[in-house]
Structure 1
């Protein structure tokens, strides 16, 4: 069994290019191509589709990649356990993040990790809730921040309840209200935040029987705020993203407080390095009350 070949296939699948994989691993392109060909000979079937549009995995390659990633993760865990027995904290952890976590939490958490555990390397992969859950299932990451679900496939550490607020411009009829009802949302055009996975806002609408007049659907929060600033509609965003909104906007709470619940989802058997990250994240949030 050659773990080097496994690492090469994993990187090729990640970047979808022999050339980029070679650059990332400090190898020649021919070495990468040779390693994949050798693996295909060992297994007895093709692992990748080679064509002008790029590199994709075959169905067999996708199946083997899941098993290969488990082997690589266990190998990493073995080395981390050995280091732990020597009193060291070292290794690599891959973390799935979404925007508000990456801007509000990660810089300080990473600073603490680098201070306390300088031998632990952190790799970040940004996506939405659904992508992060899929990366966890496929073994692309070790842990990830998500909006808490009730999936039995992950161990979930609850971190924060983040209020959802109604964002309006100074030309909105809701601007001077102290609170907003869900029925108020049907009175003006609505700009829907859109992302994959558990959708807290759509869930709110379903729970309260609301059918807003959705004018636009946007993923980027800054674009949503720009639309509201230009009086093109109202929206709902998490409080974590609203500490520095334009002066002409207001973020108004709902009559019935509504939240998204942020958690850190992990596999059930964490590596020592991933445990250190989870512990650091929990401790920082408790101390800082973010």
Structure 2
């Protein structure tokens, strides 16, 4: 069985489409379909459920995906070690991220990587804490930014305490306050951020034994800020997401010490290229903060 088929299988599984995988890999759709049919024949079982709605992995396909990604990972390590011996550090690092890190940290981190290791390619895949945790576990990612409290599966390097802040409209009665207590938010309309996995805002309310008066639940941070700006409710967001806010919004501290600890979770057997990414990330954050 060839590594090329494994690479095609991994990409088809990720995109759940022969056509999309073919476009990314620079192949024809028929070539991708033919390769997967041959792989299924060699293995002796079906990897995909095929329907009008698209492709989904069979139970056997899901089991094989973990093993195949391990094979691809070790092949990548071999290639990178060989490149290191010849004096040229190269390879691909797949990094899981989310909005606040993508928009604030990663542009400068990637710039530093390109300056130091121009032949290392960075792939970014966005998701929430839960998805990033799962993708590292199944081999889709080499490493990923998470809330340190959200995972116990991996080595995690703590990077920064990102304080939680309350955001209100300038038309809201609280807008003149210098700080606010979580208890004071109990009965007023609240715009709740929503995502999978560990949830620091909901955890904050739970610790205060408060059931918030949720008016809307939104995933996009810009949508939350817009709703707050139009005085549909107040919200709580991490500082990294509040570096830019609408002009008719006010950010204020919470009386309770509240923050999320951002960290970088990683596989136990990092490739040389991934190790360089971790080193550059730590170095950049140490100089920036």
TM-score bracket, shorter-length normalisation = over 0.9
Q: How does 1:1-290 map to 2 (within 5 A)?
A: 1-149=1-149, 151-289=151-289
Q: Deviations over 1:126-183 (max 9, x none)?
A: 1111111111111111110011126442110111100100001122222121111111
Q: Which 4+ stretches in 1 moved above 3 angstroms?
A: none
Aligned length: 289
Q: Which runs of 5+ in 1 are unaligned?
A: none
Tell me the CA shift for residue 19 of structure 1.
1.6
Q: Kindly tell me: are residues 23 and 246 of structure 1, through their superposed partners in 2, closer, same or farther at Cα, counting changes over 3 Å?
A: closer
* TM-score computed with the length of structure 1 as normaliser: 0.97
SS in 2 for 1:233: coil
Does the CA-based 8 Å contact 2:133-2:151 persist in structure 1? no
Q: Deviations over 1:14-60 (max 9, x none)?
A: 11111221222122222212211111111111111222221221111
SS in 1 for 2:283: helix
Moved more, 22-31 or 204-213: 22-31
Does the CA-based 8 Å contact 2:129-2:150 persist in structure 1? no
Q: Kindly tell me: are residues 122 and 46 of structure 1, through their superposed partners in 2, closer, same or farther at Cα, counting changes over 3 Å?
A: same
* TM-score computed with the length of structure 2 as normaliser: 0.97
Tell me the CA shift for residue 259 of structure 1.
0.4
Q: C-alpha distance in 1, partners of 2:48/2:184?
A: 53
Q: Kindly tell me: are residues 155 and 235 of structure 1, through their superposed partners in 2, closer, same or farther at Cα, counting changes over 3 Å?
A: same
Tell me the CA shift for residue 220 of structure 1.
0.7
